[in-house]
Amino acid sequence: MRKNFLTLVLLLIGTFAFAQNGMTKFEQLPANSQEFVNTYFKDYKVMYVFMEKEFADTEYKLRFEDGTEIEFNAKGEWKNVSGERNCIPTAFILKEITNYVAAYHTDMCITDVEKDHNRIKVELNDHLEIEFSSKGKFISYDD
């Protein structure tokens, strides 16, 4: 009996967790995420928005028709932008970073950018990865 009860509880928890994940509408994104998309990706067509809730944390993944993806945290701040090997708009990236790429990699473009607590990593279209501080100071290369 106890084993059946435990199985039922786990099944209900799994069902509840699954019910919190799924497709949602663009309008359900936090306001600052919508503003980010409308400002920097206004010419892109949204294919879908996926919301994932895990306990107290919510994340959103937006995918455009060309394959570009943006991940947002619960506060609506971008975490990752991936162009799937295509160049992405860069106006939202710190000028120190875009200036560095323009100065030292003149024929390259940024295809991915990932931001965590104290670092920003960009990937160029030649697959070279460059790591910067959260203030845009160069740290290292990783290829």
Q: Tokens 């959103």 sit at which residue?
A: 60
For residue 32 the two structure tokens come to 């600052």
Q: In whole angstroms, what separates CA 84 from the centre of its chain?
A: 12
**pLDDT score at 81:** 98
CB-neighbour burial class of residue 75 (10 A; exposed 0-12, middle 13-18, buried 19+):
exposed
User: What would the pLDDT profile of 45-63 be if each residue is shown by its tens digit?
Assistant: 999 999 998 777 899 999 9
Integer Cα distance of 124 and 108 in angstroms: 6
Torsion of CA 4, 8, 9, 15, to 10 degrees: 160
pTM given for the model: 0.83
Sign of CA dihedral 124, 71, 25, 76: negative
CB-CB contact of 49 with 24 (8 Å): yes
**pLDDT score at 1:** 52
Each residue's pLDDT tens digit in the chain (143 positions)?
555 555 544 444 554 444 467 899 999 999 999 999 999 999 999 999 999 987 778 999 999 999 999 999 999 999 999 998 899 999 999 999 999 999 999 999 999 999 998 999 999 999 999 999 999 999 999 86
**pLDDT score at 19:** 43
For residue 4 the two structure tokens come to 């059946």
